[in-house]
Amino acid sequence: MKKTPPRLAPVLESLPTKQIQLLERRLFLKHSLSLGALALLTGCDVTDADAVQKVLWAMSKWNDRVQALLFNPSKLAPTYPESAIAKPFPFNAYYGEDEVIEVDPGGYKLALSGLIRDKKPWTLTELYALPQVSQVTRHVCVEGWSAIGKWTGVPFRHFLERVGADLSAKYVGFNCLDGYYTSIDMATALHPQTQLTFQFADRTLPAKYGFPMKLRMPTKLGFKNPKHIAEIFVTNQFPGGYWEDQGYNWFSGS
């Protein structure tokens, strides 16, 4: 039990909010079996925390499959009146709000790769010319809190069809300008409310909410919604994600 924790990867240095950061940083493996677990596992070989970890990861993978089965591609997330929009809408990232990156709109280009027919990069002007829709939906954070916001952008399905993405592929992955990365299942990518978002509350997406562009999915937890997207790729190889690789459930559907 008193094993020396492996050297934590640098990515662990940041967690969803500052508060949690203080509480939980460095505790990941060291305390992954704490008092409660010890009490529960009395009699078992508690030195083998790795075995417990393996079971938990396997269960998380199992829950990915269950959630994919539960996912109804045509079931819409509830929508709300604009009066319900949270003000101010919470900021959340794997770094603090003072570390939000500034992106130069003129130099920005969205890269496409993987199983996509037309991989030509997109400028912001070209992206803004796409047909756009708005949604007022609830953003649910993996931490538990939720907030209602208004997002405007192009339905992601429309964009994927436009660039000739292989819609039968398994995953869509995202690499972001702030170093974040994540990936989603194709069924969710094609959901009618999954949106490549350019505006929040009728204004150009502010830096803290992901300028110039984020992916908005009311059918997934907040951390699955990448901000500052630099590259979109379509693949059949499981791409994982920044938080997902550290133990957060990959599917994380709502």
Partner 1 sequence: MDSIPAAPPNATIHPLVVRICHWINVVAISIMVLSGWRIYDASPLFPFRFPPDLTLGGWLAGALQWHFAAMWLLVANGLAYVLYGVFSGHYRRSFFPLTWGAILHEFANLLHGRISHRLGVYNPLQKSAYLVVILLGIALVLSGLSIWKPVQLQELAALMGGYEGARRVHFFAMAGVVGFVVVHVVMVMLVPRTLVPMFTGHAPREGGK
Q: Residues interacting with partner 1, by CB under 8 A?
A: 15-16, 20, 23-24, 27-37, 39-40, 55-57, 59-60, 63, 70-72, 75-78, 138, 140-146, 218-219, 243, 246-249, 253-254
Residue closer to partner 1 (CB basis): 40 or 133? 40
Taking residue 112's Cβ as centre, other Cβ atoms within 10 Å add up to 21
Residue closer to partner 1 (CB basis): 9 or 23? 23
Question: CB of 13: closest distance to partner 1 in angstroms?
Answer: 13
Residue 221, sorted as left (phi over 0), alpha (psi -120 to 50) or beta, turns out to be: beta
Residue closer to partner 1 (CB basis): 34 or 113? 34
CB burial of residue 137 (10 Å; 0-12, 13-18, 19+): buried
Question: CB of 28: closest distance to partner 1 in angstroms?
Answer: 5
Question: CB of 52: closest distance to partner 1 in angstroms?
Answer: 9
Q: What is the largest CA-CA distance in the chain?
A: 64
Question: CB of 243: closest distance to partner 1 in angstroms?
Answer: 7
Residue closer to partner 1 (CB basis): 30 or 109? 30
- The answer for residues whose C-beta is within 8 angstroms of residue 208's C-beta and 6 or more apart is 91, 97, 100
> What CA dihedral angle connects 221, 72, 61 and 182, to 10 degrees?
-40
